[in-house]
Amino acid sequence: MGGRIVADYNPSVIEPKWQNFWEKEDFYKTDEEGKKKYYVLEMFPYPSGRLHMGHMRVYSIGDVLARFLNMRGYSVLHPMGWDAFGLPAENAAIERQVHPAEWTYANIEAMKKQQKALGISYDWDREVATCAPDYYKWTQWLFLLFYKRGLAYKKKASVNWCPQCATVLANEQVEDGGCWRCGDEVVVKDLEQWFLRITDYAERLLDDLKLLDGWPERVRTMQENWIGKSEGAEIRFPVTGKDVDIPVFTTRPDTLYGVTYMVLAAEHPLVDDLTVGTEHEAAVRQLVDKARKMSEVDRSSTEMEKEGVFTGSYCINPVNGKEVPILVGNYVLMGYGTGAVMGVPAHDQRDFEFAKKYNLPIQVVISPRDKFLQVEDMQEAYVDAGVLVNSSRFDGTDSVAAKKAIIEYLEDNDWGTGKVTYRLRDWLISRQRYWGAPIPMIYCDECGPVPVPDEDLPVMLPEDVKFEAGKSPLAEHEGFLNAKCPTCGGKGRRETDTMDTFICSSWYFFRYTDPKNENEAFAKDRSDAWLPVDQYIGGIEHAILHLLYSRFFTKVLHDAGMTEAVEPFTRLLAQGMVNKDGAKMSKSKGNVVSPDEIIEKYGADTGRLFILFAAPPEKDLDWSDRGVEGCYRFLKRVWRLVDRYADDVRGQNGETAEYDKQDQELRRAAHTALKKVTEDIEERFNFNTAISAVMEAVNTAYGYMNEKEDHINTAAMAEFLEMLVLVLAPFAPHLGEEMWERLGKEGSVHQQQWPAYDPDVLQVAEVEIVVQVNGKVRGKLTIPAGLDKEAMQKQAMADDRIGQLVEGKQVVKAITVPDKLVNLVVR
Ligand SMILES: [Zn+2]
Ligand SMILES: [Zn+2]
């Protein structure tokens, strides 16, 4: 081989070559016939324009898994699509006068091209876009399914409204009381809105979290907190001098005798009744106006200054007949509980601070067991359990037991009831927007709201619309607005709200199993063959809403007999962020590296390898140009090794080979790497340690090459190179194919069976080690090579002679030099 010029590793040639091959061969078409099935899914992206590194990371993770499982003999479903409705497309339309569809589909094309350039193994035949009529037809159909099952309803709700833009804003779009876009003052407006009754499923969504042990603990906790179950009592406080009660929910009925005031939300219907025309009206009005301009997030924040104003009225605590003042407060939310909160300052820290600020009385009703609590001495609320005091017939009762006893007492006297509440509220899905799935309802003066019949679906988005800031294009479009009533044939008016895009993404994983079905959302047998998704991969920012909504949809579809699955995602991997220079990559920080740049400079295989090597998938990753260079050099080294020996090793199968010590070392390096890669992918997703095991093996091979030059054992090298190419193929799929071809192998590397390591090869090496006790040489032992510290110590202690020497003594520590020495320090 002397003098032969080694061909350079040239990703810009080999990557397009194999991408074309895969595309031409329809290479990643899903095999529906296989026995063992596995559904790998990465969250589908919003088509914003270009892929960023976060995308590249999540797709690389999914792709390694899909390719690996395929080689392990699974039929793998690995689809991709587009979460394609949403506000940015509409804003682009307003700013640039391009239709949202045009903008969206152009972005999809650009991003798809990038995904192909990354060499991701998607079955593109199954691509879905939520903005396509053949998809949103079924989104609409599913809305009607919910409606028919009593799970979709319309009601008046308070929303953030920008008068300037004439549109509803999400809570997150209100900044310091102003519109995020125009800065105009936001008002709260009551509008008729559509909701999905997710609260009906609160208990099941909570309960079934226990089925999800393949999810990160923190994601389950976030869902649990979001659902926010609390058990307690609802108590009615009659208003003095009026024939009306204030219902209040509390999780601490044991503190009921300690109520010293009552606070209503600004939106509470009683506020006007109690204050209009009184001397308190002006002050109350001021607080109400201020509170209603704040977002709910701000109002429930612990940091916000709590404010309250007296209404002039009192209500009566039913258990002790005491009159307490009624206030209006900026921190009480109408949407949670009953919109009223009873103040128990002695036993709730927020109430304690509020009572101190406004000089409201503090009454101790729970006492610690070991001391007497004096109000004057209290620096903070006493929130722990204890014994009831100042609580009439319940004095001396344990506070935990008292909860149940007081609920019974309330129920016996018809003052209240035991109650379970949830923080979770029904899902507001109406958007006064164009670029979304139209809600398929028609309003008729005679018949009321009428669902659009199935045969008239989809309700198509009209294309000839005007986009102007501050107007809902659908509400202005006469042709869309006017519709015949499906029931009586009379004049009807279409719903002009579109659906929250989170609905579109709550069922797309079903559609992938049957993406071209024109007769139903998906056939049950096809979805049952794949669902639940075995491995879902996506960002932690979706830990609550998207995952919760998808779980909700799956349960409703299960109840409707459309799927056997009760949960959509068996295992979830929440991948970490991609940072650079210690901060998340962002345009404003100027620290963005784009996938395109990396592909152009080093090739997709290097980019994929780096992104998987730099950190375990669930941890944040720090971008490092040197790290990328290192991965590039590594792939070049691999290529040179293969290229140098490819011709020598052709046709070698190792059947008659004899191996010397160095040959055995080379073989052991290959089998060790194979074992490590197999276990790291399959059991732990530790792609980073898997890759470093391959790097170590390649180092060994280079050492072998330097020692043996052209006198290598071709059987050992043949085995090494084949294993190397196979284990590297899922990470660097293009180079994998190229090397497989260079080795003269048949077919595609990605259709080979994943090799099995030989435990005997791993075991072959033994080493002689020195055993010392307290620094004195006491013997020599022959043990397997490569043992860790504990195993080496164990081997030494198991030796008869050493065992006698240390018997009855305590081994304080063991000092080891791998494969060379154990020194036992005993006392
Ligand atoms: Zn505005
Ligand atoms: Zn009608």
On the 0-12 / 13-18 / 19+ scale of CB atoms within 10 A, 518 is exposed
Q: How far is the CA of 455 from the centre of ligand 2 (A)?
A: 17
On the 0-12 / 13-18 / 19+ scale of CB atoms within 10 A, 2 is exposed
Higher pLDDT, 587 or 602: 602
Higher pLDDT, 806 or 239: 239
Residue 171 has pLDDT above 70, yes or no: no
pLDDT, one tens digit per residue, over 251-301 is 999 999 999 999 999 999 999 999 999 999 999 999 999 988 777 767 777
pLDDT the model gives residue 655: 66
Q: How far is the CA of 140 from the centre of ligand 1 (A)?
A: 29
Phi, psi of 153, rounded to the nearest 5 degrees: -150, 160
pLDDT grade, residue 658 (50/70/90)? confident
Q: How far is the CA of 532 from the centre of ligand 1 (A)?
A: 42
Q: How far is the CA of 645 from the centre of ligand 2 (A)?
A: 80
The torsion defined by the Cα of 820, 825, 826 and 827, in degrees rounded to 10, comes to 170
Q: Give yes or no for a contact between 676 and 695, defined as CB atoms under 8 angstroms apart.
A: no
Average pLDDT, the chain: 92
Pairing of strands 533-539, 821-826: unpaired
Surrounding residues of ion ligand 2, Cβ less than 5 A:
444, 446-447, 485, 487-488, 490
Question: What is the reported pTM?
Answer: 0.82
Q: Is the dihedral of CA 438, 444, 450, 453 positive or negative?
A: negative
Residue 55: name the closest of 821, 596, 648 by CA: 596
Looking at the CA of 486, name the nearest ligand: 2
Surrounding residues of ion ligand 1, Cβ less than 5 A:
162, 164-165, 179, 181-182, 184
Q: How far is the CA of 193 from the centre of ligand 2 (A)?
A: 21
Looking at the CA of 450, name the nearest ligand: 2
pLDDT grade, residue 372 (50/70/90)? confident
Residue 498: name the closest of 466, 470, 464, 461 by CA: 461
Contacts of 532 (CB under 8 A, 6+ apart): 39, 554, 565, 567, 568, 569, 570
Q: d(Cα 84, Cα 436) in Å, to the nearest integer?
A: 9
pLDDT, one tens digit per residue, over 536-555 is 999 988 888 899 999 999 99
Q: How far is the CA of 146 from the centre of ligand 2 (A)?
A: 21
Q: d(Cα 469, Cα 471) in Å, to the nearest integer?
A: 6
Residue 745: beta bridge partners? none
Q: How far is the CA of 451 from the centre of ligand 2 (A)?
A: 11
Q: Is the dihedral of CA 722, 727, 730, 734 positive or negative?
A: negative
Q: How far is the CA of 176 from the centre of ligand 1 (A)?
A: 13
pLDDT, one tens digit per residue, over 414-468 is 999 999 989 888 998 998 889 999 999 999 999 999 999 999 999 999 999 888 7
Residue 228 has pLDDT above 80, yes or no: yes
Q: How far is the CA of 95 from the centre of ligand 1 (A)?
A: 15
pLDDT, one tens digit per residue, over 294-321 is 777 677 777 788 999 999 999 999 999 9
DSSP, collapsed to helix, strand or coil, labels residue 453 as coil
Higher pLDDT, 191 or 149: 149
